[in-house]
Chain A
């Protein structure tokens, strides 16, 4: 038994309804292909993976694509450290929906450079392609050179790759942050959080209520 704390990394899978978020997640976590229709409300999984020789625990949150549940998204974005933005290459609207998600993430995270992978799923349905590969690639690039992968949950193509890539981005971001923190800590006293409420108490009086 090791007492070394293993950090957990929260991954959130976002995207429109029916693009295959759950199928992608189930392939990654459980190696199964789900044939049946089963809309998600909110599912969570844990998987331990080996990334470049390190053991990493991934907490994966699979979310609802159904638009009626959008009220829950904000909370997911707060909790998540890395995001898979999934669309279906056979559906243009699902691709359009990503921009809004990306905008919300960077707003909520107060950061434009969040670990993120753009995922075009259903690559096995090339005949029905509606979103040109180049266009998706361009979009991902325009968000700070984020990677774009085309996956097929059905054939298990590129499934591990998207999760591992995201995981590496998170680790990378963490180590940069750690270095910065040490650097800052060495330089000056920690800054007071920006929005701290100040409470004063008049200690000179005895208070009995």
Chain B
């Protein structure tokens, strides 16, 4: 699925397996738009957690998130692709890019409930062969602030 949209229509149990450092994570296939080649990252000063800059993809400006720092899965400096996903923001949504190491795979599996002490950005886990792969809750992950250890979604929920 490099550089082109997934051909198969994702089902509820379809997951894209992405490599971040030494760890693999799953992401609901319905959230993923494409896997893009490593285009140039444009960085500029800002104060938003996790963001490293923007890339230009298909004529659009797409923010890039260094989720590896939140997941404690140190990214290699030579990440090979950007996983492009759609992130809901308020009532709208926008594309976001996540640097990943290596190719991604598509897997189908049932999601098991996460551990009791799971961080907010883990939605559950799936079994892939002998491996148990954590499934990411993308909105919670992208709203996570590694400095505070909190997600801004949690703050929003607490206030409402």
The yes or no verdict on A and B being binding partners is: no
A contact residues vs B (CB 8 Å cutoff): none
